[in-house]
């Protein structure tokens, strides 16, 4: 079940939503997907623990591949605002 569902269409809003969700609930994981699709990524904020690393288990034993928040934001910078909608949520 998805909680705290928010849609964003640019890197600035994406960062703001992820950082807010991370501050509000440290025990829940943050996810993102392109609206209307089933492919989900786990977002690793890294602004609380600057040394947080993606582990082998994250890569191969999880249902959703991890990506650092900043890497996803940089990818969003290359997309024209309003042409790509992301759902950001917690579980």
Q: What is the pLDDT of residues 60-80, one digit of tens each?
A: 888 999 999 999 999 999 888
Rg (CA), the chain: 12
Full residue range of the structural domain in which residue 50 is found: 3-90
Number of folded domains in the chain? Answer: 1
CA atoms of 58 and 41, how far apart (whole Å): 11
Q: Distance from CA of residue 40 to its chain's centroid?
A: 9
Query: pLDDT class for 49, splitting at 50, 70, 90?
Result: low
Contact assessment for residue 31 and residue 88, using Cβ atoms and an 8 Å cutoff: yes
């Amino acid at each position: 079940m998805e909680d705290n569902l928010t849609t964003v269409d640019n890197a600035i809003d994406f960062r703001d939503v992820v950082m807010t969700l991370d501050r509000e609930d440290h025990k829940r994981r943050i996810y993102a997907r392109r609206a209307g699709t089933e492919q989900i990524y786990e977002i690793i904020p890294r602004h609380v623990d600057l040394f947080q690393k993606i582990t082998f288990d994250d890569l191969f034993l999880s249902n959703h591949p991890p990506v650092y928040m900043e890497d996803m934001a940089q990818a969003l910078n290359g997309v024209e605002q309003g042409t790509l909608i992301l759902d950001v949520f917690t579980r």
